[in-house]
């Protein structure tokens, strides 16, 4: 099982989503920023590293973490740690994605989200944010 950690970054009632580059695996699907953990990394360490690489932000703290398992018919099983980012420094800059966008929960539910994130998104509610 591949371990992944992503950031659920919130600001003013919106969530930051990132779109995979066209031509990449699952190209143009929307997802939460983050990625695979390196050997010996905790989910928190991995998420902080990935968000710095992908968005040039420094995560100071998270509110909580939820873990779910995602299965892909063509890509294996992933254990995804969703880290609710409550404090960060810097303005997110798009370093690796097709685009990044701040969206409301209602907008998020209508987007072409990565299959592995759909169950998590379905459970989100405004009080969670």
pLDDT category of residue 70 using cuts at 50, 70 and 90: confident
Domain assignment present for 128 = no
CA distance 18 to 95: 11
Please report which helix (H) or strand (E) contains residue 87, including its range.
strand 76-89
- Where helices occur in 1-129 by DSSP H, the ranges are 43-55, 105-108, 118-123
- Find out whether 30 and 116 touch, Cβ atoms under 8 Å: no
Domain assignment present for 129 = no
Q: Among 4-8, 23-27, 94-98, 110-114, which is the least confidently predicted range? A: 23-27
CA distance 3 to 89: 25
What is the pTM (predicted TM-score) of this model?
0.92
Domain assignment present for 107 = yes
Full domain range(s) for residue 75 = 2-123
CATH number of residue 116's parent domain = 3.90.79.10
Domain assignment present for 18 = yes
């Amino acid at each position: 099982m591949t371990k992944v950690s992503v950031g659920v970054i919130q600001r003013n009632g919106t969530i930051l989503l990132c779109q995979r580059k066209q031509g990449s695996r699952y190209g143009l699907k929307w997802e939460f920023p983050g990625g695979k953990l390196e050997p010996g990394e905790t989910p928190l360490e991995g998420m902080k590293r990935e968000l710095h690489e992908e968005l040039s932000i420094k995560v100071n703290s998270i509110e909580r973490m939820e873990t779910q398992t995602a299965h892909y018919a063509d890509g294996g099983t992933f254990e995804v740690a969703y880290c609710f980012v409550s404090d960060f420094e810097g303005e997110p800059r798009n370093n690796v994605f097709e685009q990044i966008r701040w969206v409301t929960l209602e907008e998020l539910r209508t987007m072409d989200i990565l299959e592995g994130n759909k169950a998590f998104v379905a459970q989100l509610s405004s009080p969670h944010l």
